[in-house]
Structure 1
Amino acid sequence: MSLLEEGYECYREGVFVRRSAESTSFTLGNVVVAKDSQIAIDIKNGATVDIRNLKVNGAAFTTVGENSKVRGMNLQARGAGVQINIGSNFRCGNLLLVAQFGNVDIGDNVLFSHGITIRTSDMHSVFDTKTGERINPPQDVSVSDQVWIGQDVVIGKGARIGRDSIVAARAFVSGTVDENTLVGGTPARVIRRDVTWSRDDAP
């Protein structure tokens, strides 16, 4: 079944969008889609999606959950079957997401501050000089439910951020962050365990 038969509309050449009747809005700025490439963007009820720059080389599928607000996103997707899943009640501003031969999964009720970067690869290959083996393959990135990411954080390939965790501003995360943990620094290290957080403004 084609994307058009599944309810997607051809928004621009190579860009297919499916919106629920109650979706708030979808805006798209600059687009570069390579030959024989496409991206499908599925936007659920009440979501607002603003993609300022989009580059696609391959076939990518993106889902944005209900009532999510994606503002000022710069999205690059490269590879066959790349999947980017964003859960419900997600918030972000000025996000750079580079999914290169790797998938990105973001859970529900996740809060991103401004200037966040997510990368599933190092962009360039690194090889062992003796064996010729590549030693830095792309890896998926996962952010669990109820995670708060501070300003200017970089989330690298292979990162796994556990539920109800906090990443302090300007940290670099490439490994596993346990649930209910506060991390910070470059590379990120544990600052405190057994924490939780609320979206309510501090008094």
Structure 2
Amino acid sequence: MLRLKTQDSRLKTQDSRLKTQDSRLKTQDSRLKTQDSRLKTQDSRLKTQDSRLKTQDSRLKTQDSRLKTQDSRLKTQDSRLKTQDSRLKTQDSFSVDDNGSGNVFVCGDLVNSKENKVQFNGNNNKLIIEDDVECRWLTVIFRGDNNYVRIHKNSKIKGDIVATKGSKVIIGRRTTIGAGFEVVTDKCNVTIGHDCMIARDVILRASDGHPIFDIHSKKRINWAKDIIISSYVWVGRNVSIMKGVSVGSGSVIGYGSIVTKDVPSMCAAAGNPAKIIKRNIIWARTDKAELISDDKRCSSYHAKLTQ
């Protein structure tokens, strides 16, 4: 009897423990449910925040796109204003007299330019002046059709250019030309290379200006011929270079000379008519240079011409 009571007591104790454990498990389950509910709430909040962030990101992208569009429009407007400013500067520094059709004048951003003229007396002529060119008291006259004149960037030029009957005149980069300069063409080309230094009152006459005929054949005998001045040539003051002449790179033409025959590269020529007075020379724009290496451009051309 005592044993049964003891077993019964033990069973009751176990039952009590089981109930306690069950209560604890229920409590834990309740806590887990609460945590799960909180996690779901947090997840919902995170999704809401993520949705808001996506909406904000979309709005920012839209704003960024609008800003880019506005920036593009502003750049376009700025470009137009610069073009207008360039045209106004060109108009301010050049007077244009167009007496034909199909004529074109393209002008870049000029430097310190004033009192220049362009006169078109014909059709389909073209004048191109590149950026950073300094034009002062320059007159360009087109006579007839299909003439072409181009002045490359970083040049300085004064004087008169007359292009006639399909002629072409090219002036290279960084070339400087003094006042009183004159180019006369007639169905031919005049080319001046890069880095040339041409003094005041220089005349390049590719044409005699008027025809001369043989009285027996009755045919013209003095047709115009091309003039070519290569890059890095120094032409002194009051020099006249006549039709058909070519002057080689690195050469010097002395004061007051009249050049009727070709001058090779790296030669000094002078006189009327000009003759070669010294070979194997090269000049420098820097007046303080004592060695070829003292002038970078001189050194560069010397290396090219002697390699």
TM-score normalised per structure 2: 0.58
The structure with the larger Rg is 2
For 1:164 and 1:26, how far apart are their aligned partners in 2?
A: 29
- Which position in structure 2 is the counterpart of 1:90? 175
Deviation at 1:199, TM superposition (A): 0.2
1:50, CA displacement in angstroms? Answer: 2.9
Q: 1:146 aligns with which of 232, 239, 242?
A: 232
Identify the residue that residue 177 of structure 1 maps to in structure 2.
Answer: 263
Report how far residue 17 of structure 1 moved: 2.5
Q: Secondary structure at the match of 2:199?
A: strand
**Alignment check: 8 A CA contact 2:258 2:271 kept:** yes
Whether 1:57 and 2:135 are equivalent positions in the alignment is: no
Aligned residues: 192
Q: 1:38 to 1:13 in 2, by over 3 A?
A: farther
Query: What is residue 134 of structure 2 aligned with on the other side?
Result: 48
Deviation by residue 1:95-140 (Cα, 9 ceiling, x = unmatched): 1111222111000000001110111111111222222222211001
For 2:142 and 2:130, how far apart are their aligned partners in 1? Answer: 22
Match for residue 101 of structure 1? 187
What's the CA shift for 1:164?
0.5
| Corresponding residue of 1:66 | 153
Moved more, 90-99 or 104-113: 90-99
Residue 54 and residue 85 in structure 1: after superposition, are their counterparts in 2 closer, same or farther (change >3 A)?
A: closer
Q: 1:83 to 1:180 in 2, by over 3 A?
A: same
User: For the aligned residues, what is the CA RMSD?
Assistant: 2.3
What is the identity percentage for the equivalent residue pairs of Structure 1 and Structure 2?
A: 23
- With over 3 angstroms needed to count, the CA separation of the structure-2 counterparts of 1:142 and 1:167, relative to structure 1, is same
Do the aligned residues in 1 keep the contact of 2:185 with 2:224 (CA within 8 Å)?
no
List gaps (5 residues or longer) in structure 2.
1-82, 290-307
Mapped pair 1:111 → 2:201: no
- Amino acid in structure 2 at the alignment position of 1:70: I
Q: CA deviation at 1:25?
A: 5.2
Equivalent position of 1:4 in the other structure: none
Give distance in 2, aligned partners of 1:44 and 1:177.
29
CA distance in 2, matches of 1:62, 1:52: 13
Deviates more, 1:58-67 or 1:138-147: 58-67
For 1:75, the equivalent position in structure 2 comes to: 161
Task: Look up the equivalent residue of 2:152 and give its one-letter code.
Answer: G
Gaps of 5+ in 1: 1-6
Q: Which structure dedicates a bigger proportion of its chain to strand?
A: 1
**Aligned residue type for 1:166:** V
Tell me which residue corresponds to 2:105: 17
Return the TM-score normalized by structure 1: 0.85
Q: Deviations 1:140-175 (Å, cap 9, x if unpaired)? A: 110001100000000111110011000001101122
Counterpart-to-counterpart distance in 2, 1:176 and 1:169? 17
8 Å CA contact 1:168–1:182 kept in 2: the answer is yes
Structure with the larger RCO, 1 or 2 (CA within 8 Å, 6+ apart):
1
Partner letter of residue 83 of structure 1? K
